[in-house]
Structure 1
Amino acid sequence: RLFERMYNKIIKNVEKQPEKKQKIFNWALTVGQEFAELKRANDNTNLGLKIKYKLADKLVFQKLKGVTGGNLRFFISGGAALARELGVFFEAIGILILEGYGLTESSPVITVNRENDYKFGSVGKPVPGVEVKIAKDGEILAHGPNVMQGYYKKKKETSEMLKDGWLHTGDIGVFDAEGFLLITDRKKSLFKTSGGKYIAPTPIENLFLGSKYIDQFIIIGDKRMFISALIVPDFEALREYADANRIAYNSNEDLIKMKQIDEMMQLEFARFQKKLASYEKVRKFTLLEKPFSIENGEMTPSLKLKRNVIEERYKHLIDDMYKEINS
């Protein structure tokens, strides 16, 4: 979420600027994206674009890069998927974000994007000495000197993770034609609706996390007729929206119950839903007052949501979303 917060803060600051400065920023961003595309293709022939980029860098990008100290070559991102749109945006302003992938059991890196060989939406290619293959069921398997020998005094868990020398990661993925690894979801996270459609929740959740009004997002739908969602809003963004639209409220609890907030979120959903298949669309959602946390047992130490815990804890709210359909 670090890069999403950085992005939202940049956009928020731009929106506060006079119209002339906003136009300069948008022009610079377009130039930056065009320049980045040529750079990726090793095309150095467009002199006019180079000149435009130098001007865009001087007027806009240097100030943004200055926040990172000015000497940063790239960020490495891991733990959760980076939205492709975020990668493209930061690349355009001169801040490269390279995704990698691994587990504690693999010490930890398995694949990574390189500074001169990367693709947004992927977690890169295997590091030297590490073999990666995809099992018949889609699970990512890894083999190499970085893979653990086993869990200390836990033979059963070790036998489940290590089979014939291959580490079973528990993640589902594919290699594209260029050899970049794309992660689809956690093997245990996949579920099937009552209509027989298999759903990979992570890509859908990551899509909606691109909204500046959403801080945490989890979809529900296993053995259900449709997909619903529990949402922890970004309350700072929500309060700014409420204040700008003269919506009176006393607390966060008041805010999430406001009709105007619900209508705004419905419009926000419609904007993101366009990219989804009909059976992947979120039909209903509930806004939550309190965030999911490690302390409450709803997240792992690596900040992954514990789906079973959350679904059990908020069962009454989830059942309410399906009550009308089931009655």
Structure 2
Amino acid sequence: MREFTSPPVASAPPVGGLADVVFDHALEDPLRIALGRKVDGQWRDVTSAEFRDEILALAKGLLAQGVRFGDRVAIMSRTRYEWTLFDFALWSVGAQVVPIYPTSSAEQVFWMLYDAEVSACVVEHEDHSMTIGSVIDRLPALRRLWQLDSDAVGELRAAGEHIDDEVVHRHRRAVMPDSVATVIYTSGTTGRPKGCVLSHANFMYEADNVITRWEPVFHSKRGDEASTLLFLPLAHVFGRMVEVAAVRGRVKLGHQPNLNAAALLPDLAAFRPSFILAVPYIFEKVFNAARRKAENDGKIGPFDKAVEVAVKYWDAMEHKAFGTGPGPSAALRVQHQLFDKLVYSKVRAAMGGRVRHAMSGGSGMDRRLGLFFAGAGVLIFEGYGLTESTAAATANPPEQTRFGTVGRPIPGTTVHIADDSEVWLHGGHVFQGYLGNPKATNETLHDGWLATGDLGHLDEDGYLTITGRKKEILVTSGGKSVSPSQLEERVRDHPLVAQCIVVGNDRPYIAALVTLDADSVDHWLNMRAKPKLSPTDLVRDPDLETEIRRAVVAANTLVSQAESIRTFRILAHQFSEEQGLLTPSLKLKRKAIEQAYEAEVAALYRA
């Protein structure tokens, strides 16, 4: 199949912008719990009316401090309650928000603030203020800087006390669907980041179609309160769409700034969301932590058996959903029920206990991992999208989830596969273009069609599978074209592996660099009574090399011999964003990695 369209189930409103829904909800149901906010270590409910009042007061302060309709204001912070306040307050006065990753370097910050001609900036803490201070002499348009940890919200509320509410409402009524809501800079795996211009209509069209189609999955059971804990970075389009969709869809929203398990798991237990949205990395972490605990408790055999049962159970359920099988056998159902009490309930408890559904995006998720979670009682809907498509363009439907694919086009979207297998997208969520960059816009947008740069194919039911990136195709010196992504993802399935990058462009064969997951390696050493080793000694351990070789052999089963990984090298340290080797969304910067590890790559090809 070369093209598939899903008809829309919602349309963007003919007038108004993203902030309107906050005021509408407060008028319709002022006492409804709209958000959860963590104060002094405790979660406190925020009603629709309280949320509106905070946004109105903040919007008045922004006007008092000189923010005007159409101004671009940057936010540089981790995911926290105040980010959402500023988003909706800025949208209330017709300003355009420019999100900045909190880990961005001074030069990255400079480029985004300069390119977007940002006039004011909100930062989280003093370190961010110092980062901007180091480049402020090159930013003539930047006039204001507010710091969240120095009570920026209180300062602005006080500044706007003398302004009448109606002044904000006049600004808000002037916002139209085609007004610019935000300029989000791409991660920039190659070259300088480009500013994606997204309108209020883009977000409303995307959010309302997703909400209408997937609304039943927001609840853990029929009729309960829908809630989600947002721990994705709000600087990324995925996190931003979660924020907008939760507010528009009357889903109670909480914020968690830390992605590490030590901080995240306690808040999942305390907030108890009914569903979560994450990247595959989070689900891999939950699974690997559960498996390590089982091994520590001497129960690895039963755990691995429970995994097999879960995978077989949901594989049978999937076949039944598509009419290609009868579903799980009676014996498999009995086994599944037994392991639900022994294993699966504990996996669900690690995510707060109420989660029955989740959405995953950002990168590909292994089919087997998806089947396991579904069999364990958490059905994950994998999707696909880009900043340029305002997050999701495809997602698996609730009633027919096909693991290993990124689903069908979301309502209102058409997916087309070009002659060279590039994925093209069309719909009301496709962006307006790149800020101040008509050349890049014309290369990407063609009569409303977004050329994604991703390669993929549609099956007979309209389900999309992503097979790689056009720019990442490796061509060996023998002329063999190889897509590295599926090899890398399969190697990463091994719990000891943190990252894998496949190399081989203009080389005689394919090879790989592999980094290690520290927690899994520590556990692996403990279980084998091995001493703690230095990173340099660790990568030379023959038993560890054998384990990684198993991961490589498993990956090679996916491809022909000419496309297989012939050799690999284990690195002592992971690739990091601080080194300039990862994007803020944790994607590999291939050219930068190959340059940084030039000697290691060369060693892979020595006779």
The equivalent position to 1:32 in structure 2, one of 282, 294, 310, is 310
How far is the alpha carbon of 1:276 from its aligned partner? 3.4
Question: 1: distance between equivalents of 2:494 and 2:431?
Answer: 38
| Corresponding residue of 1:60 | 343
Deviation, 1:255, is: 1.3
One-letter amino acid of the structure 2 residue matched with residue 100 of structure 1: G
Residue 7 of structure 1 is matched in structure 2 by 287
Letter aligned with residue 339 of structure 2 = A
Match for residue 224 of structure 1?
507
Correspondence 1:188 to 2:471:
yes
Greater shift after overlay, 315-324 or 208-217? 315-324
Give the AA of the match of 2:489.
Answer: N
Of 427, 441, 465, the match for 1:144: 427
| Counterpart code for 1:32 | A
Q: How far is 1:6 from its partner?
A: 1.8
Going from structure 1 to structure 2, the CA distance change for 1:261 and 1:30 (only over 3 Å counts) comes to closer
Note closer, same or farther for the CA distance 1:61–1:254 as it changes in structure 2 (3 Å cut): same
| Stretch deviating more after TM superposition (285-294 or 192-201) | 285-294
Distance in 2, matches of 1:144 and 1:227, equals 38
* Alpha-carbon offset, residue 192 of structure 1: 0.9
1:236 to 487, 511, 519: 519
For residues 204 and 108 of structure 1, do their structure 2 counterparts lie closer, same or farther at Cα, with a shift above 3 Å needed? same
SS at match of 1:215: strand
Alpha-carbon distance, 1:267 to partner: 4.4
What is the Cα-based RMSD across aligned positions, in Å?
A: 2.3
Equivalent residue, structure 2, for 1:84: 367
Q: What's the secondary structure of 1:171's corresponding residue?
A: strand
Aligned equivalents of 2:464 and 2:551: distance in 1? 31
Asked if 2 retains the 8 angstrom alpha-carbon contact of 1:76 and 1:97, the reply is yes
> Which of the numbers 583, 588, 598 marks the counterpart of 1:305?
588
1:285: Cα distance to partner? 1.5
> Which is further off, 61-70 or 128-137?
61-70
Give the C-alpha shift of residue 38 in structure 1.
4.3
2:601 pairs with one of 307, 311, 318: 318
Three-state SS of the structure 2 residue aligned to 1:110 is strand
Q: Distance in 1 between matches of 2:395 and 2:493?
A: 23
User: Structure 2: which 5+ residue stretches go unaligned?
Assistant: 1-280
8 Å CA contact 1:235, 1:252 repeated in 2 = no
CA displacement, residues 24-81 of structure 1 (integer Å, 9 cap, x when unaligned) = 4455444434442443315579666545533332333222211212221211111111
Query: Could you tell me which amino acid in structure 2 is paired with residue 170 of structure 1?
Result: G
Q: Give the 3-state SS of the residue equivalent to 1:14 in structure 2.
A: helix
Counterparts in 2 of 1:128-277, with a 5 A limit? 128-245=411-528, 247-248=530-531, 250-277=533-560
Distance 1:45 1:236 in 2: 35
Correspondences of 1:66-105 after superposition (within 5 Å): 66-105=349-388
More displaced, 45-54 or 202-211?
Answer: 45-54
Percent identity over the alignment is 36
Moved more, 148-157 or 177-186: 148-157
Greater Cα radius of gyration, structure 1 or 2 = 2
Q: Secondary structure, in 3 states, of the residue corresponding to 1:141? A: strand
**Shift of the alpha carbon at 1:129?**
1.0
User: 2: CA distance between counterparts of 1:38 and 1:246?
Assistant: 40
Which amino acid in structure 1 is aligned with residue 314 of structure 2? A
Larger CA deviation: 22-31 vs 166-175:
22-31
Structure 1 Cα separation of the partners of residues 446 and 366 of structure 2: 33
Using the TM superposition, give the Cα deviation of residue 143 of structure 1 relative to its aligned residue in structure 2, in angstroms.
0.8
Q: Residue 257 of structure 1: CA displacement?
A: 2.7
Distance in structure 1 (CA, Å) of the matches to 2:453 and 2:551: 32
| Deviation (angstroms), 1:256 | 1.2
- The structure-2 alpha-carbon separation of the partners of 1:271 and 1:186, relative to structure 1 and needing over 3 Å to count, comes to closer
Q: Structure 1: how far apart are the matches of 2:604 and 2:548?
A: 16
Mean Cα deviation higher: 99-108 or 45-54? 45-54
Post-superposition CA distance 1:149-201 (Å, at most 9, x none): 11122111111110122101010000011210000001100011112211000
Pick closer, same or farther for the CA change 1:90–1:204 going to 2, 3 Å. Answer: same
Provide the residue aligned with 2:392 in structure 1: 109
| TM score, norm. by length of structure 1 | 0.90
SS of alignment partner, residue 143 of structure 1: strand
Residue type of the alignment partner of 1:214:
V
User: Matches of 1:157 and 1:177 in 2, distance apart?
Assistant: 33
CA contact (8 A) 2:424 2:450 kept: yes
**Greater mean deviation of Cα atoms: 1-10 or 47-56:** 47-56
Structure 1 residue 248 displacement after superposition: 4.6
Instruction: Select between 127-136 and 267-276 the one with higher mean Cα deviation.
Output: 267-276
Quick one: distance in 2 between partners of 1:246 and 1:25?
A: 21
**Code of the aligned partner of 2:577:** I
SS across alignment from 2:440: helix
- Specify the SS of the correspondent of 1:323: coil
**Measured at CA, do residues 37 and 121 of structure 1 come closer, stay the same or move farther in structure 2, by a change above 3 Å?**
closer
Q: Match for residue 121 of structure 1?
A: 404
Could you say if the C-alpha distance between residues 28 and 323 of structure 1 is closer, same or farther in structure 2, counting changes exceeding 3 Å? closer
Q: Structure 1: any 5+ residue segments left out of the alignment? A: none
On the 8 A contact 1:112/1:124 being kept in 2, the answer is: yes
Once residues 45 and 95 of structure 1 are traced to their aligned partners in structure 2, the CA distance between those partners, rounded to angstroms, is 17
Report the Cα distance in structure 2 between the residues aligned to 1:44 and 1:305, rounded to whole angstroms: 40
Within the alignment, does 1:16 sit opposite 2:296 as a pair? Answer: yes
Does the 8 Å CA contact 1:83/1:210 hold for their aligned counterparts?
yes
CA contact (8 A) 2:491 2:554 kept: no
1 CA distance for matches of 2:502 and 2:547?
19
Superposed displacement of residue 275, structure 1: 3.9
CA distance in 1, matches of 2:346, 2:519: 24
8-17 or 284-293, larger mean C-alpha shift: 8-17
Contact 1:134 1:174 in 2 (8 A): yes
- Write the letter of the residue equivalent to 2:287: Y
Q: 1: CA distance between counterparts of 2:533 and 2:316?
A: 51
